[in-house]
Amino acid sequence: MRLWSKVRSWVRALLRRSRMEREMDAELRFHIEVFAEDLVRNGVPREEALRRARIEFGGVERAKEECRDARGTSFIDSLLQDLSFGLRMMRKNPGFTAVAVLTLALGIGANTAIFSIIEAVLLRPLSYKDPGKLVLPAFVSADFFPTMGIWPELGRTFTSEEELHQAHVVVLSHGLWLRRFGGSPEAIGQNLQIDGIEWKIIGVMPATFHFPDKDQQFWAPLTTNRSWQEAALTTKIDPSNTRLFYARWLVVGRLKTGVSLQQAQAEIDSLFAHLAESDPDPNRAPVRAFPLGLNLSANMRLALFVLFGAVISVLLIACSNVANLVLARGAGRTHEMALRTALGAGRSRLTRQLFTESALLALVSGCLGLLLASFCLHALITFGPGDIPRLDEARVDARVLGFTLAVSLLATVVFGLIPAWRISQSDPQESLKGAFRSASGSVALRRMRNALVVLEFALAIVLLTGAGLLVRSFLALEEVDLGFQPERLLTLRVTMPAGVSQARTLVLHEEALERAAALPGVKAAGAISDLFELSNVQNLGLRAIEGREPEPPDKWTPLIWQTVSGDYLQAMGALLLRGRYFSQQDMANSPLVALIDENMARRYWPGEDPVGKRFKGQDPRGRNDDWVTVIGVVGNMRRNGLEREPVPHVFEWYKQSGSTPRDFVVRTAGDPRITAVTLRSLIRSLDPVAILSPVTTMNEQLSEQLSPRRFQTSLLGLFSLIALVLATVGIFALMHYTVAQRTQEIGIRMALGARRSDIMRFVIREGALLALAGVSIGTFAALALTRFISSLLFGVGASDPATFAGVAALLMVFALVGCCVPARRAMRVDPMVALRYE
Amino acid sequence: MDKKQMELLQGTLDMLILKAVSLGPLHGYGVLLRIQQISKDRLEIQQGSLYPALYRLEHQGWIASEWGESENKRKAKYYRLTAAGKRKLQTEAEKWNRMAELIEGILGTTAEEV
């Protein structure tokens, strides 16, 4: 019963708030009037009676407030009141509101967008159980799936029986299953034609499983792979011929719980030591175990963490800016607060009001920030590089939303409660007398505000320095000496489906090269096994060098063997330093020849002329023991990544190496795009089964290589620009407020004879000193931090003096600009007005 | 103000209001007058504190209110005791009496009785 009446009273209070307010008014007025009438009846004059009735009743507003409290609706009431008051305050100070909301929204928005990406790329489990425990095929062995800890969503995976019998069975990816079979369970048992061979579908993997990369469409038993069959065959015939499969198969293993990577490596090492004893092979390279999680390059990881740090910094700057704004406003409102206290508002009530105002600000900023975040995220996915795994899976999801709200709330607590606390510490009577306005009353407050601006500048310096170093690295990379001419160069990959004979492949290749070279506008055409060598380069050695002891495997260094055809080197524009290029006289049965690059010459024949020198390579056709003669030396080309030092190269001739290169390069005289179309249709007409990649220009290829760096650099650049703007706004707001607060002091100085230029200098000096403090602290912090990103830098030192000096100067200039406006305002102060200023 | 007036003991205003309205529906000012009349003007009641008490009692369901017409034909809010309020008044009165007896006993204790 009692509970019911309470609820009824609450509901009534909520639904008919204004009516209850009216009734309360009427009731109290009735009381006072009847009381006054009684007094009149007792002989008190009418005017006097009303006055006495009011005095004896006591504070009407306070009684009302107590009545509202008694009714138990005061929390909601005061919340609504605070909210409407907060909204009114926001509308009343549009400048303050705009700056505060935009500042916070920027911080929260940028933060959410980047956090979403980090969440998708780094944090979201790779869908494999505990990916950190995996050591790094779509031909896979039967125990591959159990090792990955993943089970098919439909059907089964292969058995070791099927593996042994080279059964043509496949497991489909979820995507392929949806596209080809519309997600029908009847797909199991059907046949699928791949490369002209019938494969029986036995299972479908879940959508979350993509390995080795996200475009993987199906998995088949390892033993059905032609290369594996050949390799297995070759190994049995010629155990010394290991070149064919040195890095072809990646082995995946799951470590037992509690076993470290080092322990696993030690076990692999001892296993290989035993193998070396029982079956000696000087060409067997050591096997290295690495965790699967690292598949995402260490640099990409570092870059993402740098971005995350940048976001946190921007958010910190944004928060301290807003804190500063609210502190300034809070100090300006001391009088208002004192007045409210005197009128009967409790301290907790005032604190709650300030808190509500800040929360409102944070909430509005949070909403705007979330909008900004989804917009930014969309832009980042659209314009970001395509090679960041799972980037397109980034969504503003619930976890990210939670993160944003947490950040908003944290920001609220930070900047909402400091002023509230300051105000509650002040004595309302003193405040009412204006004591708080004098400079001495707010030393602590001033220090806090100064410290915040110093912090902003320090953070901005760190960000700008990092961004500056990355921009310089990017510029250095664009200027890097490639060793070849990328302009007007077309590239195209031509491969043949499995099962097509070597002879047919070679016929197409030679015909394609000949016809391409004859196209109008084509200066040279050739091909190479791989256009670029962007993965890790294997340590390799020469099996024999004429007149010298062979190198033991532990002395081997990275070495790249490539097969070239046609006028590859001429088309690339490589520099021929000595000797000659390959020619059509170099036949399959003529003496073996090779071209090497400068690095190779320096590695094996330092100080000698390598032309005419002989060494032994490994030829799968069984000419292993034939000497290979160096016929020429070309300049180094940055084929193994723009950021990496060129690795020694050996170029073999396609007629002698036994393999057909697949990547075509065509140098054109005019616009390469015109030739691109003709080239593609030409090769297509030669053999209809050939698989052609789109024709791209070399510059597009290079730009693609630089795209992750461009992405990181522009993001960090964007963040540091935001930081720069926010820090400038910060110092502007502080100086603006300082000038407003010290108008009186400035007036006195002027009255005492200070010139206007003195005043201006006085204001600017104060701002400049703060900025300088921030810049100094920031520079030291940056010096300590930039070495952690040295692996991301190229052609510039982590403590590059020019970058550091440039950034410091840039920030100082912005600080001075930020101080100029308030300084000019101070200069125009009228001493007479200022002295009367209250 | 009459010097002989006594200040109200804390927590007793609620009980006095319940008693006052138990004698018949009253508006706020009427409650004040009735308490003064019963106490023969010997109790001082802060007029401002009367209304929060009335609102609190209504919120707790011990009294109910409705708008009516006052003696001089004006609209006034009248409070009356509810059944729950009646029980409350009874228990409060018993509690008060027991307490008063107890205090009286303690205060009336002489040295010989200890």
Write down the ipTM of this complex: 0.87
> How many residues are there in chain A?
838
pLDDT for res A464: 94
| C-alpha to C-alpha distance for A444 and A277, rounded to whole angstroms | 77
Lowest-pLDDT range of A23-27, A275-279, A432-436, A575-579: A432-436
Interface test with B, best of A9, A12, A34 (most B CBs within 10 A): A34
Separation in Å, CA of A359 to nearest CA in chain B: 31
Question: What is the DSSP code string of A256-299?
Answer: PTT--HHHHHHHHHHHHHHHHHHS--TTPPPP---BGGGGS-HH
User: Across residues A348-371, what is the average pLDDT?
Assistant: 81
Separation in Å, CA of B34 to nearest CA in chain A: 13
User: Across residues A712-716, what is the average pLDDT?
Assistant: 83
pLDDT for res A442: 62
Residues 8..27 of A with a Cβ closer than 8 Å to B: which?
A: 9, 23-24, 26-27
pLDDT for res A251: 63
Express each pLDDT in A540-565 by its tens digit.
778 788 888 877 777 888 888 899 99
| C-alpha to C-alpha distance for A156 and A304, rounded to whole angstroms | 37
In terms of Cα–Cα distance, which of B23, B56, B103, B2 is closest to A68? B56
Chain A residues touching residue B70 (CB < 8 angstroms): 30, 34
Lowest-pLDDT range of A505-514, A607-616, B67-76: B67-76
Yes or no, beta carbons of A63 and B48 under 8 Å apart: yes
- Give me A125's structure tokens: 């489990």
pLDDT for res B12: 83
Yes or no, beta carbons of A30 and B74 under 8 Å apart: yes
Separation in Å, CA of A827 to nearest CA in chain B: 54
Residue A2 has its nearest CB partner, among B49, B56, B84, at B84
Residue A156 to residues A148, A216, A699, A779, B86, Cα–Cα distance (Å): 15, 18, 45, 59, 78
In CATH, which of 3.40.47.10, 1.10.10.10, 3.30.300.30, 2.40.170.20 is domain B6-113? 1.10.10.10
pLDDT for res A236: 42
Our measurement of the distance from residue A572's CA atom to the centroid of its chain's CA atoms, rounded to an integer in Å, reads: 34
CB atoms within 10 A of CB A201: 23
Q: Binning pLDDT at 50, 70 and 90, where does residue A164 land? A: confident
Residues 332..351 of A with a Cβ closer than 8 Å to B: which?
A: none
pLDDT > 70: what percent of chain A? 79
Residue A96 scores a pLDDT above 60: yes
Its pTM stands at: 0.64
User: Across residues A427-433, what is the average pLDDT?
Assistant: 61
Interface test with B, best of A3, A5, A16, A28 (most B CBs within 10 A): A5
pLDDT for res A398: 66
User: Across residues A251-263, what is the average pLDDT?
Assistant: 68
pLDDT for res A463: 92
Chain A residues touching residue B46 (CB < 8 angstroms): 58
Interface test with B, best of A27, A40, A69, A75 (most B CBs within 10 A): A27
Does A28 touch chain B if contact means CB atoms closer than 8 Å? yes
Which has more pLDDT, B35 or A385?
B35
User: Across residues A482-489, what is the average pLDDT?
Assistant: 92
| C-alpha to C-alpha distance for B35 and B49, rounded to whole angstroms | 14
- Give me A128's structure tokens: 């494999």
Q: Give chain B's contact residues with A (Cβ, < 8 Å).
A: 27-29, 46-49, 51-53, 55-56, 58-61, 67, 70, 72, 74-77, 84
Asked whether the beta carbons of A571 and A524 are under 8 A apart, the reply is yes
Yes or no, beta carbons of B52 and A27 under 8 Å apart: no
Q: Binning pLDDT at 50, 70 and 90, where does residue A63 land? A: confident
Yes or no, beta carbons of B47 and A31 under 8 Å apart: yes
Per-residue pLDDT of chain B (114 residues; tens, 9 = 90+): 444 567 667 678 888 999 999 998 999 899 988 988 888 888 878 888 888 889 888 888 899 988 888 887 888 899 999 999 999 999 999 999 998 899 888 998 887 776
Yes or no, beta carbons of A1 and B29 under 8 Å apart: no
| C-alpha to C-alpha distance for A780 and A798, rounded to whole angstroms | 13
- What's the sign of the alpha-carbon dihedral A761, A766, A769, A775? negative
Which has more pLDDT, A71 or B18?
B18
Residue A387 scores a pLDDT above 70: no
CB atoms within 10 A of CB B68: 11
pLDDT for res A547: 82
pLDDT for res A136: 41
Chain B residues touching residue A66 (CB < 8 angstroms): 48-49, 51-52
User: Across residues A412-424, what is the average pLDDT?
Assistant: 63
User: Across residues A461-474, what is the average pLDDT?
Assistant: 93
A816: left (phi over 0), alpha (psi -120 to 50) or beta: alpha
* Domain definitions of chain B by residue range: 6-113
pLDDT for res A588: 84
Does A243 touch chain B if contact means CB atoms closer than 8 Å? no
Which has more pLDDT, A17 or A54?
A54
Express each pLDDT in A729-746 by its tens digit.
889 888 888 887 788 888
| Cβ-based neighbours of A826, under 8 Å, separated by 6 or more | A739, A746, A759, A760, A762, A763
Residue A243 scores a pLDDT above 60: no
pLDDT averaged over every residue in chain A: 79
User: Across residues A302-325, what is the average pLDDT?
Assistant: 83
Residue A107 scores a pLDDT above 60: yes
Residue A21 scores a pLDDT above 70: yes
pLDDT for res A295: 47
User: Across residues A697-714, what is the average pLDDT?
Assistant: 84
Does A680 touch chain B if contact means CB atoms closer than 8 Å? no
| C-alpha to C-alpha distance for A469 and A800, rounded to whole angstroms | 8
pLDDT for res A13: 62
Residue ranges of alpha helices (H) inside A543-619 are 568-572, 598-604
User: Across residues A530-549, what is the average pLDDT?
Assistant: 81
Residue ranges of alpha helices (H) inside A296-442 are 298-332, 334-342, 347-383, 398-425, 428-433
- Could you tell me how many helices (H) and strands (E) chain A has, helices first? 27, 22
Residue A376 scores a pLDDT above 90: no
Interface test with A, best of B17, B35, B36, B47 (most A CBs within 10 A): B47
Residue B59 has its nearest CB partner, among A6, A33, A34, at A6
Most confident of A192-201, A269-278, A367-376, A530-539: A367-376
